[in-house]
Structure 1
């Protein structure tokens, strides 16, 4: 059984990662990004495209991409919890409004139970839409809090502020959270309507209205006014005689019960469910429209510095920036795309060692990498034309320093399969067992197959 492939990143996800990487570099200093910049420049494109490619590489290398996927999982789980709350809450509202059927239902108390909280929350959301920043209200903040709690990740420290900064540029948080809030209430009211239909279909309810201070004419006018719009789309509207008669006791006529039940459902649909549906669709449309037009703010200082690295007007020599406080651990890997051919390359070999060995015609020789320019030139070439099999020859008499291991990891990520060849010592010399053990441990940590015997047959044919 193969593992499910991760969900492809959206346009918003790519911009989100760019902002997260930018904030991280602002707080912790520049990252070690030599390979990321090379990958970004190799793919070409305009500056925003290169910035996104660089950010994706760094986020995948340093764990922010995995943290983003964990955040997505937490957000979905929080959404499922809110969905369950909406269904249960809507059903509870309907049951509380109608009761157990042993006593007549006060239609206006029932209507207040079904629509009262909804109307208060709707007015609060409309107020926050005009005066507040995110317009998500308590429900939106609850969802954000649950999403964060359900997706704890050490690499997610800059994700939340990066998302908020990104959405503030076009004030998109109000529409995203607005779609969530209105969708929640839409589902709550839909659950209430379905529960009402189920209860009214299986129980017999009588309907009354009661008052001490108001006259019956007031309730007649209010009932007719509320039922006017539902009546236009086919819902029943109690006549004046039925309304007046229901002020004392529940009218036992079946037609009266049907009229009141239809009136209650119609008012709930027109003044509750329909506005939430329209608002949810409007917020979703604004969200889709805004996120599609969202772009990086290239005027920010962090992106201005990247312009010099990813689209330099000229090459500069010497130290360009201070070293970061902490360097990432070297990692191996493999090229996931199409590849072809076999290649042998050596790293910093002694001039006294004869090189290269006799190679089959199908195996290319990339020579010995001694300088930074040679390494960069070969990496650029392999990025464009990745080999299917790659053997890297190393002299185990040298220490496996961080720079060499980072180079091995970069080379391995340009080939579909890589092996490291630890060369034997020249005649008359012996290998240091402790240093050789250091090589074995370092290569095992990189995840690269290695050995002291020449893997030339594998390099030629693909098998030992």
Structure 2
């Protein structure tokens, strides 16, 4: 991922927590703390872990795919529109072409919107946002991911905070208009190469001198690039009828192409390059605004003066699937750990020599200490002993999942009830359902052979 997408996902997580409340982030905070770095680095690491867990990372990939498809659709519309402008300007060649009507068809709308964009950029900085909104809307529709709906607002806020939205929109607008002008140019050259056109100018109010001056003024810059300008005699003669002289046809055609290039293609190209340069330089300066309340609240959790463990948000409808974050090459050894056993149960059982005992996790300090140890030295096999007489509350299940993510392979040992006492069948069933959601293997017999040898 790029720095922009990292910041984008971080901003998305901030907005999500701002509107829906704090996420279950104990493991994300622990991982961010263990990897170190300054506060912005830890905030990003926490957000990326949560985004990966909650499916926002995959939603971002889907959204980016939709954004590319939306851009292709808009680009295709721009190409078709540009070709349509050229065809409307020259028609089918059966009638003489009014050069200034043709020029208005090719450049009129483009120049009006170009001036409007420039004025909006100077005074408001938001002109062209309608096209940007259209692109965002198309991107979301083509992404086909419900979670992708959270991404565009976060991107807009991130860019607006650094005043980059105007350059992103400017690059989009000028890039699409550049495509339209290039398409019009190609179509114009194609029509002129395959059909014979005559050129005239017509007026009721203005004199011939006005058209001579206007033609020469518009052709001055193209002439510097080598485009021809009709002579004064050609211009005056074209006011009566289309000249059949081949040199006059070529002169008018070259003049029309030159004006389109200089006043249509070149300005959009230069503006697109300018917006791209401002976008690149501004993107390199993107950073988190630590003064925002959502980030300021994370300082104590990610760079704490004292550590906290606990659950603060509502239980999810479905538990997150456990996926080990360690490989067989990174892990070694076997470990047995128990969660909240009472004093009446003798512990630990007799263990093989190559199996270590991590004790009983019955306090926040013991949990935190073991998790920190596992993050540095993950075991190849981990057995977690649980007392099924207790309800499978969310805190215990979250701890089991977090422990399992730090081992290559994990099994849950549901202990038998002490002599003379029976297990509650309904409660045991709740344990089975919860562990099945976590996709963790479980049994009511001691997995000592598996811990020792890696198989039963």
TM-score (norm 2): 0.90
Partner of residue 284, structure 2:
292
Paired residue secondary structure (1:115): helix
Is the CA contact (8 Å cut-off) linking 2:326 and 2:405 kept in structure 1?
no
Distance of 1:462 and 1:114 partners within structure 2:
75
Partner of 1:342: 333
How far, CA to CA, are the matches of 1:316 and 1:137 in structure 2? 45
Q: 1:463, 1:96 → 2: CA distance?
A: 78
Q: How far off its partner does 1:407 sit?
A: 0.8
Deviations 1:227-255 (A, max 9, x none): 22122222222222222222222222222
CA distance in 1, matches of 2:379, 2:244: 86
Matched, 1:121 2:113: yes
Q: How does 1:438-449 map to 2 (within 5 A)?
A: 438-449=430-441
Match for residue 55 of structure 1 among 47, 51, 56 = 47
Contact 1:104 1:250 in 2 (8 A): yes
Structure 2: how far apart are the matches of 1:264 and 1:410? 70
1:334 and 1:416 in contact (8 A); partners too: no
Shift of 1:129: 0.1
Match of 1:217 among 193, 209, 212: 209
1:365 to 357, 372, 377: 357
Task: Give the match for residue 34 of structure 1.
Answer: 26
The alpha-carbon deviation at position 303 of structure 1 amounts to: 2.1
- Alignment partner, residue 172 of structure 2: 180
Gaps of 5+ in 1: 1-7
User: Is the Cα–Cα contact under 8 Å of residues 174 and 271 in structure 2 kept in the other structure?
Assistant: yes
Q: Deviations over 1:254-288 (max 9, x none)?
A: 22222222221111111111110110111111111
1:92-241 matches, within 5 Å, as 92-151=84-143, 154-155=146-147, 158-241=150-233
Q: What residue is the counterpart of 1:11 in the other structure?
A: 3
For residues 70 and 300 of structure 1, what CA distance do their matches in structure 2 show?
Answer: 28
**Could you list the runs of 5+ residues in structure 2 that have no partner in the other structure?**
none
Question: 1:223–1:441: structure 2 CA closer, same or farther, 3 Å change rule?
Answer: same
C-alpha RMSD over aligned residues: 2.6
* Candidates 320, 323, 343, aligned match of 1:331: 320
When structure 1 is superposed on structure 2, of 290-299 and 54-63 the one drifting more is 54-63
How many residues of Structure 1 are paired with residues of Structure 2 in the alignment? 452
Change in CA separation of 1:410 and 1:328 when aligned onto 2, cut-off 3 Å: farther
Deviation at 1:90, TM superposition (A): 0.9
How far did 1:72 drift?
Answer: 2.4
User: Secondary structure of the residue that 1:88 maps to in structure 2?
Assistant: helix
Shifted more, 26-35 versus 229-238: the winner is 26-35
Paired with 1:308 and 1:44, the residues of 2 have a C-alpha distance of: 14
Question: Whole-Å Cα distance in 2 between the matches of residues 39 and 264 of structure 1?
Answer: 64
Partner of 1:315: 306
* Higher alpha-carbon deviation: 297-306 or 45-54: 297-306
TM-score (norm 1): 0.89
Decide which of 365, 375, 380 is 1:383's aligned counterpart. Answer: 375
Q: Please report how far the alpha carbon of residue 157 of structure 1 lies from its aligned counterpart in structure 2 after TM superposition.
A: 5.8
Which secondary structure does the structure 2 equivalent of 1:335 belong to?
Answer: coil
